Amino acid sequence: MRNEILYIILGMAVVTYLTRFGFIYLFRYIKAPDKLERWLKHVPTSILTAMIVPALLLPAGHLDLSFDNRYLFAGIVAGLVAWKTGNIFITMFSGMVIMLAYIFQPLA
């Protein structure tokens, strides 16, 4: 392994770890204000939404609201299935069927 690559990887590992441990460590010694929890409880919903929506609306980096956007169509269907069933395998299967239908176009 080249030294300069090793140092880069070590640097990346250290800063990444700091982002993961930072607040956990801090709140161990500083009592987080009670009010903070009122905010923090919304973090999961916010983060999940923020990870899903751009992946569906901007799969190629630009906003694509057309029917050609297979991620959007698959996402809408998977969203409905997730809402109705709550089952990950059925949700993924329904989304993947649409993704593959777009890729291989058996109906075209």
Partner 1 sequence: MDAVKSLSSMEDGRKNTAMLWRAVRDTIPIMFGVVPFGITCGIMGLTAGLSSLETVFMSVLVFAGASQFIAIDMLGAGIMGWWVIVLTTLLVNLRHLLMGASLAPHVNKLPLTMQGALAFGLVDESYALTANQIHREGYSAYYQTGVQISLYIIWAFSTLAGTVLGEKISNPLEWGLDFAMPATFLVLLMPRLTDRISLYVCIISAIFAVLGALYLPGKWYIIIACIAATIAGGFLERGDQGEE
Residues 27-56 interacting with partner 1 (rule: CB under 8 A): 27-28, 32, 35-56
Q: Pick one of 16, 66, 67, 69: the residue that binds partner 1 (CB under 8 A).
A: 16
58 binds partner 1 (CB under 8 A): yes
Q: How many residues belong to the site for partner 1 (CB under 8 A)?
A: 74
75 binds partner 1 (CB under 8 A): yes
**3-state per-residue secondary structure call for the chain:** CCHHHHHHHHHHHHHHHHHHHHHHHHHHHCCCCHHHHHHHCCHHHHHHHHHHHHHHHCCCCCCCCCCCCHHHHHHHHHHHHHHHHCCHHHHHHHHHHHHHHHHHCCCC
CB of residue 68 to partner 1, shortest distance in Å: 14
Q: Pick one of 3, 67, 68, 103: the residue that binds partner 1 (CB under 8 A).
A: 103
Q: Pick one of 60, 88, 107, 108: the residue that binds partner 1 (CB under 8 A).
A: 88
- What's the burial of 74, exposed, middle or buried (CB within 10 Å: 0-12/13-18/19+)? buried
CB of residue 67 to partner 1, shortest distance in Å: 16
70 binds partner 1 (CB under 8 A): yes
